[in-house]
Chain A
């Protein structure tokens, strides 16, 4: 068990370092397109951390939703709004805005870090908190069967309505 944890810890720090680098590049990058792509690294890192925690379902969801949908939405948004896709020197904020943003970031880090440490203290979760994908799928197709089916009709209706409203006629 211990050997596994050492490997996990090393992997955690490598991925965490990559995420921090990616996050910094998102805000310092002069090219909007590249910033969005750096964000991919951050979100993929989060997915990898979930895998390390043995919650593969959350990891897959992270990949599908954030990498698959939200980043694509960002990229489409950038391309469709005719923003500059190349390097843009005006992309940076004013100095005052930088300080306020940085202050808020530090405040959030402190607050969330404190509440995490204060909330969990030395608790070890072991294998208790892991929810297997099979459990998730079991409950989707038994207890939550009806909401699942209703959701599929909701998506169908949303698709049809969006096409009607968006198409040129």
Chain B
């Protein structure tokens, strides 16, 4: 018996270290941060943000070499795939994470909020997103989602002495755990039907069921609803405004951009590989989620008086736009591919413009100590550069050329109309109407900045720290370049495809 146990054959898995290099570098940076924090004194705390930032930038190098290589790498029996889709999203998460670190540097250092641990958690969350982009089986997707979320719950509560921050963390945590439970239940149903956690196998199994089994519908709906919480789609959005308002503002930008994008990546993975054959189930669900999210998000955003809350509701509406192409994605493989590419384009542009908007909010609140829209009054008279930047970002969010947002909206429209179905056209009209409503509140903030008087007549200029200016330069450059030369973006996103795995 013992001899039998000792001589069992075990084949070590072949690990492609080149393909895993981005994740390994980020994980190594996390370890370096922990060691650095443990063995250095208070004086060298500033080093953590630099180390974290450099780690993320170094991780971009293997992504570039992998993209240059151009071969799809499939590992762990198909559970982990490094292809163009994964690489472009990993690059997005790394750059977005780097910008968030730039936004955090001064905020966290001046507030004395446990810097070393802050960046450790931030990088852990980013690592989860990178794994999510490559994950192609339910177990990896779930664990990646938890690695994205659990550090984020704690980051939302990072201002420990502030009640609002505590509320933000607790609400986010409770809703997140609730969503995870629903998600897991859906996944267990799917696993029960198909007998596999690999999305490719699930896709083949679910596609082969011709008759509509209620349990399949239930499983798919629960999985998608679990992710809908993460991307704060209506009616699963209640946590978002309170969490965004209470969390430290750099964390809010991280949640609104990177964390949300990770949720969308998870939806894309399961939808296009696992559930694609059952579009009769998820298309109506996505239609309703998209239409509700943009309409409700925009209508409530109109009434907000706090800039961060307004951006939170605008983010809910944007989530609706991003979900919209999925409502028609099942018609043919062609429309599916176009929907996928339009969503990736939107995620990239959304990251640039929304992070930029948060950077301006952070810069302004350094002086005004308030998030009220009125506190932006007269911004042009004492901080013209910030005002111009914010105007670019708001134009982009509203979808007005030359800022990049118009191209994102355009790709959504073209993917909605390419299906040629009535539901696609109706949803396109709803997107159009909502773009008009959205300009109501984006335009109001622009008017306040350019036209109104400064409150209390206080016109002392704002000192923008170097890291924040650098973040603004990156985001403005991205927003303008992609707006004027969309080809610079589509050159990469045209390569994105998830159907190569389907056989």
Name A residues whose Cβ lies closer than 8 Å to a Cβ of B: 134, 138, 141-147, 149-151, 153-154, 156-158, 160-165, 169
Contact = CB atoms under 8 A, between A and B. Distances in A.
B143 A154 contact: yes
Given A153-B124, A162-B154, A146 B117 contact: no
Nearest to A166: B160
Contacts of B8: 134
Interface residues on B, range: 35 or more
The 9 closest A-B pairs by CB, nearest first: A161-B154, A157-B124, A142-B13, A154-B147, A147-B143, A164-B117, A157-B151, A147-B140, A164-B114
Contacts of A160: 34, 117, 120-121
A142 B8 CA distance: 15
Interface in B108-160: 114, 117, 120-121, 124-125, 127-128, 131, 139-140, 143-144, 146-147, 150-151, 154-155, 157-158, 160
A60 to B, nearest CB: 16
Given A145-B76, A164-B154, A157 B140 contact: no
B472 to A, nearest CB: 29
Interface string B1-19: 0000100101111010000
Report whether over half of chain A's contact residues are helix, strand or loop; otherwise say mixed.
Answer: helix
B386 interface: no
Contacts of B154: 158, 161-162, 164-165
A143 B76 contact: yes
Nearest to A144: B139
B121 A157 contact: yes
Interface of B: 5, 8, 10-13, 15, 20, 27, 30, 34, 75-77, 79-80, 114, 117, 120-121, 124-125, 127-128, 131, 139-140, 143-144, 146-147, 150-151, 154-155, 157-158, 160, 169
Contacts of B121: 157, 160-161
Contacts of B10: 138, 141-142
B489 to A, nearest CB: 30
A18 to B, nearest CB: 29
5 contacts: A147-B143, A153-B127, A156-B124, A157-B124, A161-B154
